[in-house]
Structure 1
Amino acid sequence: MTQGEPAKGRDSAGQPPRIFGLELSLLDREQLIEELLATPRAPDGAKLLATVNVDHVVTLRTDQRFREAYDSAWRITVDGAPVYLYARASGIPLPGRVTGADLFASLIDRWDPAQHRLYMLVANEEAAARMTRRLAERGYDETTLTIEVPRFGFEKDAAYNEALTARIRAKAPTHIILGLGAPKSEIWAYEHRAALGDAFILCVGAAIEFATGLKQRSPLFMRRVGMEWMWRFGTEPRRLFHRYFIRSFGFILAMLADRPGTAAVPGRRD
């Protein structure tokens, strides 16, 4: 590197480059997994891992609480292929996409009940039962694994959330996994971060349903070329039509409004 040349992954002012006001992690998937598996960790509060995709970018433009959740995130990885291509075109040297589904699929086979205590909030009882069976095969029991299905609208019930966060804190999990969809998962994690103890928080969307066989993930070749969305639309057209063919135009507006490398949006990065 010549004198005056910015370090790799930083702009001329020495600041990490950003898109959409987000400071992206430059770690590849294996490096991030190693961080997530590392124990023991010094007490330093809940650490939210966010995985940004097109729908998240669109939501960030209008939902202030979602923006605040992202601003507080410990790591932000790129999930969606269009976001990845835009980041690379903006000069951010990402090693590749790191999706929530891929991370969860790797972690579920590497979590160790001797080191890692898991607390999961999932969308339905069948997902809870299947995930319990799968992790029991790896040695998890009621002392190291808790899976709950929160009731509908729980995020708006202060008393319920106070009791829920107390249950989570009492279990002292190393990892809290939220499979409740965005932006609900990220906002809930942000709003209750002070009550959750020292844990990694992963918002993984449909990854739990993929891992339990409740939903079938796209073939690997479609994931590799960034076309997983087509598979998902084909399996859930009614639910996903508006997201993929109406809301997604907001991503174009976000790119037009974005200026890579401009003033940083405040946020915590440890």
Structure 2
Amino acid sequence: MNNVHTPLTDAPRRLFAGAAKVAPEMIVSSVPTQLLTAGDALDLIEAHWASDQDQPLGVASINLDHIHHFGEKGAWHGSLGKSMPWLNLIDGAPIAKKARRLTGTPWPRLAGSDLMGPILDRAQAGGIRVGFLGGAAPTLMKLRETAAVEWPHLTIAGTWAPPRQQIVDPAASRELAAEVREANVDLLVVCLGKPRQEAWIEANGAATGARVLLAFGAVVDFLAGEVSRAPQVIAEAGLEWAWRLAQEPSRLARRYLVQGPPAYLQLQRATLGGSFGHE
């Protein structure tokens, strides 16, 4: 596959127009990762769902697992950014540490599980219609119950728990995207796990009619209270991966212990790339 990455759209760029700062990006195994504060990332996401851009915006969390799948040695290398622009945010602690070493500036981890609450705060305030795609049906039901308490004025336009065979079948996926469009979703949270969620968004994002699509993995489990986050001291030490591995060893052992080390070696060759901002 060709390594093509669509630049960010003009609407997010305008947030930095005339500003004194420029948001650089780090290139990790050909994957561009934007270096942003949490506030700037949230502003970019909100600006896009409020814009009249023709293309939707995909948002991905960049960690070693992403590099494994979408980096230069990954099976999905070069598959993203052909049909829509992507905003790639630092997730893993190794990514954040490398960005700090390259720039001399500390950059925060912007994991989907951390951003989801503030994003839903803004969606509720702006009357944005939100949909959740992925996770088990009982989990999505619990998520609705939790959201009704935490965000009582948030409009959840729909939830979908598609089986794997529907996600990997192009025709079935088009039908699913049509269901999302019919529900008039503005912001779609896609939680199918890497690399399926990013691949599904790339192939079907525009057909859903959503303005922003978040590839946020297990965030439905966190919102529903099915999975607990690592204590802050563990997360700050860069050991959240070990916490999650201890919770779900059968599912995560291969990701962290087999696929992670080669991706970490690719990370060491990261460089600073282009910037977006005022011109």
TM-score range, shorter chain: 0.7 to 0.9
Question: Which residue identity is paired with 1:134?
Answer: T
Whole-Å Cα distance in 2 between the matches of residues 259 and 109 of structure 1? 34
CA 1:185–1:92: 2 relative to 1, 3 Å = farther
Q: Mind listing any 5+ residue stretches in structure 1 that lack a counterpart? A: 1-6, 11-15, 265-270
- Aligned pairs for 1:204-215 (under 5 A) are 204-215=216-227
- Aligned pairs for 1:88-237 (under 5 A) are 88-91=100-103, 93=105, 95-112=107-124, 115-137=127-149, 138-140=152-154, 144-237=156-249
Q: Which moved more, 1:159-168 or 1:181-190?
A: 159-168
Query: Any idea what SS the aligned residue of 2:117 has?
Result: helix
Whole-Å Cα distance in 2 between the matches of residues 233 and 17 of structure 1? 27
Is 1:86 aligned with 2:98?
yes
CA 1:46–1:64: 2 relative to 1, 3 Å = farther
Question: Which residue identity is paired with 1:88?
Answer: R
Whole-Å Cα distance in 2 between the matches of residues 76 and 57 of structure 1? 12
Contact 1:122–1:180 (Cα < 8 Å) also in 2: yes
Deviations 1:210-242 (A, max 9, x none): 111111111112112211111111111222222
Question: Which residue identity is paired with 1:83?
Answer: I
Whole-Å Cα distance in 2 between the matches of residues 212 and 45 of structure 1? 30
Q: Which moved more, 1:64-73 or 1:158-167?
A: 64-73
Following superposition, the deviation at residue 204 of structure 1 comes to 0.9
Query: Any idea what SS the aligned residue of 1:118 has?
Result: strand
Contact 2:91–2:110 (Cα < 8 Å) also in 1: yes
Whole-Å Cα distance in 1 between the matches of residues 136 and 227 of structure 2? 13
1:32 alignment partner in structure 2? 41
Question: Which residue identity is paired with 1:245?
Answer: L
Following superposition, the deviation at residue 165 of structure 1 comes to 1.1
Q: Which moved more, 1:65-74 or 1:238-247?
A: 65-74
Question: Which residue identity is paired with 1:76?
Answer: N
Question: Which residue identity is paired with 1:221?
Answer: V
Query: Any idea what SS the aligned residue of 1:112 has?
Result: helix
TM-score (norm 2): 0.79
Question: Which residue identity is paired with 1:75?
Answer: L
Identity rate of aligned residues, in percent? Answer: 23
Q: Mind listing any 5+ residue stretches in structure 2 that lack a counterpart? A: 1-20, 275-279
From 45, 53, 62, the counterpart of 1:52: 62
Question: Which residue identity is paired with 2:41?
Answer: L
Contact 2:133–2:160 (Cα < 8 Å) also in 1: yes
Query: Any idea what SS the aligned residue of 2:146 has?
Result: helix
Following superposition, the deviation at residue 47 of structure 1 comes to 0.5
Deviations 1:106-160 (A, max 9, x none): 223442176210111121011110112223341345xx42001002221222332
Contact 1:19–1:87 (Cα < 8 Å) also in 2: no
RMSD (Å), alpha carbons: 2.5
2:89 alignment partner in structure 1? 77
* More strand, by proportion: 2
2:263 alignment partner in structure 1? 251
Query: Any idea what SS the aligned residue of 2:143 has?
Result: helix
Contact 2:33–2:62 (Cα < 8 Å) also in 1: no
Q: Which has the larger radius of gyration?
A: 1
CA 1:139–1:20: 2 relative to 1, 3 Å = same
Question: Which residue identity is paired with 1:117?
Answer: R
Whole-Å Cα distance in 2 between the matches of residues 252 and 36 of structure 1? 28
Following superposition, the deviation at residue 73 of structure 1 comes to 4.1
Question: Which residue identity is paired with 1:31?
Answer: D
Whole-Å Cα distance in 1 between the matches of residues 205 and 237 of structure 2? 35
Deviations 1:68-94 (A, max 9, x none): 226754311110001111222233756
Contact 1:66–1:187 (Cα < 8 Å) also in 2: no
Question: Which residue identity is paired with 1:101?
Answer: S
Question: Which residue identity is paired with 1:52?
Answer: I
Q: How many aligned positions are there?
A: 249
Question: Which residue identity is paired with 2:271?
Answer: P
1:19 alignment partner in structure 2? 28
